[in-house]
Amino acid sequence: MKVLVPVKRVIDYNVKVRVKAGGSGVDLANVKMSMNPFDEIAVEEAIRLKEAGKAEEIIAVSVGVKQAQETLRTALAMGADRAILIVAADDVHTDIEPLAVAKLLKAVIDEEQPGIVLCGKQAIDNDMNATGQMLAALTGWAQATFASKLEIDGDSANVTREVDGGLQTIKVKMPAIVTVDLRLNEPRYASLPNIMKAKKKPLDEKTAADYGVEVAPRLEIVSTAEPEARAAGIIVGSVDELVEKLKEAGAV
């Protein structure tokens, strides 16, 4: 079985996100980028499937700017076997929308015929939480979202999902699209020897046009704003003072 893992290059989770002057979007110039953390979990799960003998080949795919190559190299260093880069934008500020990404992934699926697709549940930059679901709709495959546990059992998969207030386990027929949640696993480090070896693993470069997919945005970003700065807190000396202050603030 082949496993397909889409990975996205996003602003690093350590970085303080800053809105561009004018509010047209987030400033990505000079900013550290890395693999979407949920996608790292997906890559890790794919490697574990392979290590457990349930998968033969792991293909990582990224859609975006040319620099997403680095993200794919990380996936290869972690343990993916080969990678496909679909260049769909020149400007690092261009975000390819989920529908276009899903269409491109559908085209890759048609070529590669994987048995399962492991996606991150969402990308931490735009938090869309849509690509996996759209891909399921386009392929007509079963979908299991927010996976915190995955067991492959013959031609079906048991997926435990994190739902409001608890867990739900569902059984889906393969091939399937699974989107992964935070608690599924702890991704491994890309080790130095593996990073060196990853330089020699195959990385195919394509463009969106090669697949005949239109990637122009359909959504218009009206504005982007930073959260209001929090007002400084005060330390109160006693319960009476607390009540007093709350009254002043109109909270009680």
> Which among 12-20, 58-66, 107-115, 214-222 is the span making contact with another protein, rule CB under 8 A?
12-20
Instruction: Give the residue, chosen from 31, 92, 170, 174, that forms a contact with another protein under the rule CB under 8 A.
Output: 31
Shortest Cβ 203–another protein spacing (Å):
15
Shortest Cβ 34–another protein spacing (Å):
8
Judged by CB, which is closer to another protein: 12, or 112?
12
d(CA 185, CA 59): 19
Judged by CB, which is closer to another protein: 189, or 235?
189
Binding mask 178-217 toward another protein (x if CB under 8 A, else -) reads --------x-xxxxxx-xx---------------------
Shortest Cβ 21–another protein spacing (Å):
7
In Å, the largest CA–CA distance within the chain is 70
Judged by CB, which is closer to another protein: 30, or 223?
30
Judged by CB, which is closer to another protein: 72, or 144?
72
Instruction: Give the residue, chosen from 2, 5, 8, 34, that forms a contact with another protein under the rule CB under 8 A.
Output: 34
Shortest Cβ 79–another protein spacing (Å):
13
Judged by CB, which is closer to another protein: 169, or 191?
191
Binding mask 77-96 toward another protein (x if CB under 8 A, else -) reads --------------------
3-state secondary structure the chain: CEEEEECCEEECCCCCCCECCCCCCECCCCCCEEECHHHHHHHHHHHHHHHCCCCCEEEEEEEECCCHHHHHHHHHHHCCCEEEEEECCCCCCCCCCHHHHHHHHHHHHHHHCCCEEEEECCCCCCCCCCHHHHHHHHHCCEEEEEEEEEEEECCEEEEEEEECCEEEEEEEECCEEEEECHHHCCCCCCCHHHHHHHCCCCEEEEEHHHHCCCCCCCCCCCCCCCCCCCCCCCCCCCHHHHHHHHHHCCCC
The sign one gets for the Cα dihedral 183, 107, 69, 93 is negative
Q: How many residues bind another protein (CB under 8 A)?
A: 21
Which residues in this chain contact another protein in the complex, by CB under 8 A? 12, 14-16, 18, 21, 29-32, 34, 186, 188-193, 195-196, 232
